[in-house]
Amino acid sequence: DAGVIQSPRHEVTEMGQEVTLRCKPISGHDYLFWYRQTMMRGLELLIYFNNNVPIDDSGMPEDRFSAKMPNASFSTLKIQPSEPRDSAVYFCASSPGGPDTQYFGPGTRLTVL
Amino acid sequence: GQQLNQSPQSMFIQEGEDVSMNCTSSSIFNTWLWYKQDPGEGPVLLIALYKAGELTSNGRLTAQFGITRKDSFLNISASIPSDVGIYFCAGQLGAGGTSYGKLTFGQGTILTVHP
């Protein structure tokens, strides 16, 4: 079985541009999580979905960030407009039954110039 | 918010040595998890702990859920070069509500193993 798939793996963009990160969870998993990892703040949960419904988005840093899950096999994390401080590795993870069994994707390394 | 203090921040050891790292929290957690992250990859779950006092092994790895539910440790015995990576602890608070899906992660322990 394929694991969690994220695209792109690397993204370099200029400040002010819109960035869209994509995630395909493992088939059959009901939970999907978006994380951000930086040296300063470590690994932080941004938002998670259960059965395509956003459950907790309290970790989303500000209104520039938005996430959607239109169906069970696809989710996006959008940053508009992007800022240099958004530079980080963004991980998507999915789980069949909760956060204790989640599988992480390989991440998207975002650089905002 | 909750914070996990993970120590040590980094370790440099010789192949064959045992390794120990731990996490402490100001909050009580219902679940403790230990992950390993290789460069350029996402974290991979190593061990999950669900009960205070629980001691669980996974090959050369052993982890324990502290009695107070505010700490956990991970031991690696007879280290090998492929043990190199970053090890994270994570705690889960509740069994219900919106906090169910949230994990709080430690800052990570960077492990280097010299052959």
What is the secondary structure of B49-95 as a DSSP string?
E-STT-EEEETTEEEEE-TTSSEEEEEE-S--GGG-EEEEEEEE--S
Residue B95, pLDDT score: 61
Which residue of A50, A58, A99 is in closest CB contact with B103? A99
Q: If you measure CA to CA, which chain B residue comes closest to A41? A: B107
Position of tokens 């991979």?
B44
B103:A56 CB<8 A: no
Q: Which residue of A has its CA nearest to B88?
A: A43
Q: Give dist(CA A24, CA A4) in Å, integer.
A: 6
Which residue is closest to A50 within chain B, CA to CA?
B101
Rounded distance, CA A10 to CA A21, Å? 10
- % residues pLDDT > 70 (chain B): 93
Q: What would the mean pLDDT of B20-43 be, rounded to a whole number?
A: 94
Residues sharing a CB contact under 8 Å with residue B3, sequence separation 6 or more, in sequence order: B25, B26, B104
Average pLDDT of span A12-38: 97
The confidence band for B8, taking pLDDT boundaries of 50, 70 and 90, is: very high
- Whether chain B has a CB inside 8 Å of the CB on A28: the answer is no
Choose among A43, A56, A100: nearest Cβ to B88: A43
